[in-house]
Structure 1
Amino acid sequence: MKVLKFGGKSLASGQAFDNVINIIKTKVNEGPIVIVVSAIGDTTDTLENILDLAKTKQDYTTAFETFKNRAYHNEADINTELEVLSKLYEGVSLIEDYGVKIKDQVLAQGELISSKILAAQLNAKGLKATPVDSRQFFITDANFGSAQAIEEVSKQKTQAYFAALDKETIAVVTGFIGSTDKGETTTLGRNGSNYSAALLANFIEADELQNYTHVDGIYTANPDWVKNAQKIEELHFDEANELANFGASILHAKTILPLVENNIPLRILNTLNPENKGTLISNKPTDKGIKSLSVQSNVALVQFEGRGLLGIVGVDARVFTALANEGISVGVISQGSSERGLGFIVEEKDADKAAEALNREFSNDFYTRDVNSISIIRDLAVISIIGQNLSTFDKPYAALVKNKIVPILFNNTVTGKNVSLVVRKEEAKKALNVVHGQIFGIAKKINIAVFGNGLVGGTLIDQILQSAQSIEDKKNIALSIFAIGNSKKVLLNDGGINCNWREEIKDQSVAYNIQEVIDYANANHLENLIAIDNTASGEFIKNYIPLVENGFDLISSNKIANTISYSFYNELRQTLKANHKEYLYETNVGAGLPLIDTIKLLHLSGENITKIKGVFSGSLSYIFNNYSIQEKPFSEVLKEAITKGFTEPDPREDLSGNDVGRKLLILARELDLQNEFEEISIQNLIPTDLQAVDTPTFLNSLEKLNPYFDKIKQGLAPDTVLRYVGELSGDLQKDKGVLETKLIEVPTSSALGQLKGSDSIFEIYTESYGDNPIIIQGAGAGASVTARGVFGDILRLADK
């Protein structure tokens, strides 16, 4: 014998009824079955809403007529149930009130209607079936609204009833309801239909209880919230009981306990996908470890503070007795030791009642000022991690903090195998995804906003899209670009932007400010946020601090933030530190070369860096490497560099020496020097008359540069070439160093003189290495190289 239980969602439409009937047909062929049903679809909520309309003298009759005329109500004789409802509603309307006893009678009609309709449909399909009212054998206490079965009496009556039932007839039993020994209707509380099914399976000693729902089984987290949640194939009764105790919506502790008694397996199945094997819950041992994450929403925190009660015996007993007398169940509890502080979680609907109960209990203590306050924090959620060992919870907790989620309360069970976190309700979905990704090793999702989609930005976006699947396969990191913006418009897609982004940006982008991007990320519960600045904008850096304060890590190929005032530089780093965020900018100097990281490591290790010198600009490297050895006018070499994308859009940014100056300043500040940009001695290579003209005019006047550079080239000594270098020197242990950029001639045989193409070279002199510098050399310009360097920063952050 198998007991099949169908929930309200499984019966919610004509197609759903067909699925249920097809399942029953299949199961009948396998052996005897009993059916347990919930009320159809939203019936329970509808009946309760009509009850409230009647209580408040509103037009309940229209809503009741709409309910009576539901199409599927014509498929069975439910006049008795509708007549009971009509009289109850009329009575409530007359007295303008109702209690839990009346409410139980009203809600019970939903299950009775469901049982009759399914039985009628089965008979119409040629399957002999009969509706069964479980009030005939489930005898309960008189705790209306959440009754408990009196098991010995109920068991005897159940066994007697089914012994007398025709063995060829399928019993369609009402879930959720029972009756007192006086015949008064009761309901069995939350998940009451599942409890009914478990009791029935226990009493008739079924081989298995099969609970048909709208999902394929129990998952590592709610699959509606966590897209990569995984189905759990098997659970032990104890593990399922823990899940039930911590709020897993598909289970309830009362459901598990009756099954354990006779070792009856429970299988969670999907009505819409009956071929799936679902999740089996039994006494079979399973692998140890974390099983699932559950969420309880709609809870509130009640905080009790009584400094004057410190050390007084019996305070906790008074608190919980007062709550118990009001029928209030308490969840997560936290207690302070330095003062008499007590916080505990209750259902939000019970929060005011809990506070009132405590105010009454401690009224005299308020008068004597031994109790300071009783307060409520609403709109909270509890995330419970079943099987979590506290000793390994450091990474999930750190990931929450990195994502700007700081739990309000933290609790672990005595066994240390379950951890619960209380967070704000609006943070719950994001928190669940963050913790789930950390715990189960499923691809960690990194949500990226790219600002600046020109040559470097566009190349980066393409690199990410092309490499995303490979990175997910190899590193378990899922990169998703949710925003692409320029100075005016942004394209947003919380599911991730695809390879058609260039066309979509034309058609679907919208005007924006940075707060709207932040709000979009929050509204869509996006975790592990990275903002990438591939602009050259001095305006965009104003967004850095708001982004950091709202949970974004930063990556930038834009040098301006690191080279404007030292006060901003310092403020940004203080903000990063306060918000536990990272700011990576390896491409600021040397494009994709590992220069900044090397200098950081040397400095942090205590190495005394005495000088840094080199060709900092890949653009100027390309220009002077070629101009020094080719018989071409300077303007032609410059045009080649522009065409290859080696220069800034306005090449004067390179030729002015400002770009080299900024890079030099960035390195100086990595050594904790407090230099300002204005203190750098910079040789500007642009003739005065071309410095102030607009960009198009300058680009049309490049030939005017030739006389100036021809003269310099003609003055070169034999076997020398031109190089534009930057140098940081002076006493670098003080607050400021000496920063200088200039065009010099160097021997062709020297390290600087042997540079080719757009390579950069950096010589790092230290106290330990003396006159033998550490040399870093490689490609120093180009969109692809720079984008690849930014990509490297993304992966560094993702690993963290």
Structure 2
Amino acid sequence: MENFKNYQKGNSSADLTSEFTLLEKLYEGVALLGDYSKKIKDNVLAQGEVISGKVVTQALKEKGINANFSDTRQLIKTDAKFGNAQPVDAISRKNVQSHFKSNNGTTVNIVTGFIASSTDNETTTLGRNGSNFTASLLANYLEAEELQSFTHVDGIFTANPDLVPDAQKIDQLSFEEANEIATFGATILHAKTIIPLIEKKIPLRILNTFNHTHNGTLINSENSRKGIKSLSVLENVTLVNLEGRGLLGKPGIDARIFRALAQNNISVSIISQGSSERGIGLVVESKDAQKAKDAIEAEFELDFYTHDVSSVYLTENVSVISIIGQELATFNKPYDALIRNQIVPILFNNTVTGKNVSLVVERVQLKKALNVIHSEIFGITKKVNLVVFGHGTVGKTLINQLLETRENIIQRKGIELNIVAIANSRQFIFDAKGVSKKWQSELESSTQKSSIEGILKAVKEHHLGNLIAVDTTASKDFVTNYVELIKNGFDLVSANKIANTKEYSFYKNLRENLHFYQKNYLYETNVGAGLPLIDTIRLLHHSGENITRIRGVFSGTLSYLFNTFSTSDKNFSDVLNEAIEKGFTEPDPREDLNGNDVGRKLLILARELDLSNEFSEVKIQNLIPENLREGSVSEFLARLEELNPIYLNTKNNQAENHVLRYVGDLSGDLSVENGASLEVSLVSVPKESSLGQLKGSDSIFEIYTESYGEHPIVIQGAGAGAAVTARGVFGDILRLAEKSK
């Protein structure tokens, strides 16, 4: 009480003696009798409203404003249901109209909210959102032109901005839409607030107390444009599940459930029923969950005995997302987006009107689910979150391409390619809003140790969806992380050939996980850099076209080497040095000359035709003599002239008008298992043939099919280079992003 008295003396000149005296008596009575009933609680709570009203009234008077304190206990009459009383309209309307008729004109009426009194003059309260309810009652009784509700936000949003940063303010809603939003969890609006306004078609405007320049959200009787309006959330709920095969065909199950719950004053927000009443799910407030379970078990006690009901159990830690304005006919888009992001709703239903859909999801997935749905429904742009592994020549080029073209892609495609993480073998950087153009220096100074676990943790903590992992490494070890990434919701894009050429058991397991988790894996640059080779072969094969042979020059490095050597008088070693100087080769040129890279590419194409060959089955002609295969790079480079007589002899022994090409050849009966021959070798071809006319470092591929006969489909172009490869990876990323849009 001392604090109350100090408050009265120090902060306001309003006379609050009677309120503090009453509070003191109420508390003494509670202490003595140990009785704190709803009736007493209403009386205590009412004093807070009265004190606030008197303080505001006095403050306005001291500013020269003709303010009048109005106690709604004298105006609004209710029944005697303490804690959640219901107004008696006829009496309340007459009191309000009489009061405001006497206190009109220049008078500013400061009216208490939330409180009223029963017809026996006992203090009551109007329950949750009672102050706004009071305002809407006054608006109805006085036939106001507009009711304005000042809150802490700019209006009603398409989702809770605390959960969805991209939420947008809604300018206008119909009463029906606002009622649905309020029913399904909007905290700044309650369904009962709207009801008195609908009767008189009085608009309600939600405004921000701290932003006087904003026009807020207008709610009125006018139909707004069709479409989805908002995502509302119900938290602190539990799913009650009733299961029983014996319920098949039995009428009245729902009625028994609702009767049992009603007798225990338990309200159900959502119900979803399986076929033939064998499974029924109910969403109730968590505080009522155990009581609801007990009530249903008691109701169906005999059915347990006859085994018609098998179990009643609770699913806790769930939340409800309601999509207001969502028609079931178009629900596939947000639902598909959830599934793509590995969020599987536990339960869903739609309203009788068919324009609202509610989903029950695990609480830990709530924020991610909200953001995924919101992006799918309201997003002006589709945000795709990228994690790039590796920043070598290709990786660095790709990252810079993505950052430089980001705004252009947003404008042209409506897709935001957001690089959230970049990792090498030592450390990584992470920014949910997207890394900056200073990513290289930030990565070098990063103290975050690189690990798949660390990156996955960061992604989960920020509830990111639409994830793509981009592998620009050449690491044999890193590809073992692919399945873990898939399981955690990532699609894959890779320039790394290893995953597609490892043992077939790994290859098959990877595909099975992709299928199970419904994820995508694109790797067009694995063969032919930026050329559309793999896509073409995949399309032909899946359409039923019988591909009979694939032959071509697979390596841009070896293409340059033999294209130049075949048509010039230069020594082989001189041409090889030129290729090294131009950066066409690996740091150790033997990685190109041993033919393994071409062999891996040939195997990738074989597996695209559903062949299960292993790398060991590829016949590869190693271009390095055995005596030069060992030793350091510097030792090899010092002995390059030893290659000259070998390749000069090969060149001179060709038929006339022939040239040398290092060719990969997939042939045989490609329609049956073990029917394929995979061979990589140096061959002599006519100068006028498609392979013979190859120039520079281009690659070329001939695809023979039954339909095309002796006339192959020819794909030719730049088959090497960081910029070309990076652009091909970029294309795969964009294709995945557009596919999920």
Cα distance change on mapping 1:715 and 1:298 into 2, 3 Å: same
Partner of 2:647: 712
1:544-693 to structure 2, matched below 5 A, reads 544-630=482-568, 632=570, 634-635=572-573, 637-693=575-631
Q: Distance in 2 between matches of 1:75 and 1:657?
A: 94
Partner of 1:30: none
Cα distance change on mapping 1:117 and 1:485 into 2, 3 Å: farther
Partner of 2:691: 752
Partner of 2:712: 773
Please tell me whether the aligned partners of residues 447 and 481 of structure 1 are also in contact (alpha carbons under 8 angstroms). Answer: yes
Amino acid at match of 1:499: K
Larger deviation, residues 281-290 vs 366-375: 366-375
Q: Distance in 1 between matches of 2:444 and 2:156?
A: 43
**What TM-score results when the alignment is normalised by the length of structure 1?**
0.87
Query: What secondary structure sits across from 1:353 in the alignment?
Result: helix
Q: Distance in 2 between matches of 1:767 and 1:761?
A: 20
1:5-16 to structure 2, matched below 5 A, reads none
Q: Distance in 2 between matches of 1:148 and 1:93?
A: 30
Partner of 2:216: 278
Partner of 1:48: none
Q: CA offsets, 1:417-443, max 9 Å, x none? A: 111111112212222222222223521
Q: Distance in 2 between matches of 1:133 and 1:549?
A: 61
Please tell me whether the aligned partners of residues 105 and 185 of structure 1 are also in contact (alpha carbons under 8 angstroms). Answer: yes
Q: CA deviation at 1:783?
A: 0.8
Amino acid at match of 2:61: N
Q: CA deviation at 1:75?
A: 7.2
Q: CA offsets, 1:294-322, max 9 Å, x none? A: 22222111112243344333332221122
Query: What secondary structure sits across from 1:354 in the alignment?
Result: helix
Please tell me whether the aligned partners of residues 389 and 470 of structure 2 are also in contact (alpha carbons under 8 angstroms). Answer: yes
Q: CA deviation at 1:485?
A: 0.5
Partner of 1:7: none
Cα distance change on mapping 1:254 and 1:556 into 2, 3 Å: same
Q: CA deviation at 1:66?
A: 11
Larger deviation, residues 697-706 vs 250-259: 697-706
1:148 aligns with 2:86: yes
Q: CA deviation at 1:150?
A: 2.1
Q: CA deviation at 1:522?
A: 1.6
Please tell me whether the aligned partners of residues 572 and 647 of structure 2 are also in contact (alpha carbons under 8 angstroms). Answer: no
Please tell me whether the aligned partners of residues 635 and 703 of structure 1 are also in contact (alpha carbons under 8 angstroms). Answer: no
Q: CA deviation at 1:88?
A: 4.8
Q: CA offsets, 1:306-355, max 9 Å, x none? A: 43344333332221122122222111111123453211111222212211
Q: CA deviation at 1:639?
A: 4.8
Q: CA deviation at 1:182?
A: 2.8
> For 1:461, which of 399, 413, 416 is the aligned residue?
399
Q: Distance in 1 between matches of 2:634 and 2:67?
A: 88
Q: CA deviation at 1:73?
A: 5.4
1:792 aligns with 2:727: no
Q: CA offsets, 1:17-44, max 9 Å, x none? A: xxxxxxxxxxxxxxxxxxxxxxxxxxxx
> For 2:137, which of 199, 209, 215 is the aligned residue?
199
Please tell me whether the aligned partners of residues 42 and 83 of structure 2 are also in contact (alpha carbons under 8 angstroms). Answer: yes
Query: What secondary structure sits across from 1:532 in the alignment?
Result: strand
Partner of 1:523: 461
Q: CA deviation at 1:517?
A: 1.5
Q: Distance in 2 between matches of 1:164 and 1:91?
A: 38
Q: CA offsets, 1:613-638, max 9 Å, x none? A: 00111222223333434555545544
1:379 aligns with 2:314: no
1:264-343 to structure 2, matched below 5 A, reads 264-343=202-281
Cα distance change on mapping 1:562 and 1:80 into 2, 3 Å: farther
**What TM-score results when the alignment is normalised by the length of structure 2?**
0.94
Q: What is the root-mean-square deviation in Å for CA atoms of aligned residues?
A: 2.5
Query: What secondary structure sits across from 1:742 in the alignment?
Result: strand
Q: CA deviation at 1:390?
A: 1.2
Query: What secondary structure sits across from 2:460 in the alignment?
Result: helix
Aligned length, in residue pairs: 735
Partner of 1:32: none
Query: What secondary structure sits across from 2:511 in the alignment?
Result: helix
Q: Distance in 2 between matches of 1:459 and 1:67?
A: 71
Q: Distance in 1 between matches of 2:604 and 2:706?
A: 21
Query: What secondary structure sits across from 2:77 in the alignment?
Result: coil
Please tell me whether the aligned partners of residues 589 and 616 of structure 1 are also in contact (alpha carbons under 8 angstroms). Answer: yes
Partner of 1:360: 298
Please tell me whether the aligned partners of residues 645 and 783 of structure 1 are also in contact (alpha carbons under 8 angstroms). Answer: no
1:254 aligns with 2:192: yes
Q: CA offsets, 1:235-290, max 9 Å, x none? A: 22222222222222222211111011111111111222221212211122322222
Please tell me whether the aligned partners of residues 292 and 385 of structure 1 are also in contact (alpha carbons under 8 angstroms). Answer: yes
Q: Distance in 2 between matches of 1:444 and 1:72?
A: 56
1:125-144 to structure 2, matched below 5 A, reads 125-144=63-82
Unaligned runs of at least 5 residues, structure 1: 1-60
Q: CA deviation at 1:221?
A: 2.2
1:702 aligns with 2:654: no
Q: CA offsets, 1:464-490, max 9 Å, x none? A: 111111111121111111110011211
Query: What secondary structure sits across from 1:521 in the alignment?
Result: helix
Q: CA deviation at 1:673?
A: 0.4
Percent of residue pairs bearing the same amino acid type: 59
Q: CA deviation at 1:172?
A: 2.1
Amino acid at match of 2:70: V
Q: CA deviation at 1:413?
A: 1.5
Larger deviation, residues 231-240 vs 710-719: 710-719
Please tell me whether the aligned partners of residues 105 and 186 of structure 1 are also in contact (alpha carbons under 8 angstroms). Answer: yes
Please tell me whether the aligned partners of residues 686 and 705 of structure 1 are also in contact (alpha carbons under 8 angstroms). Answer: no
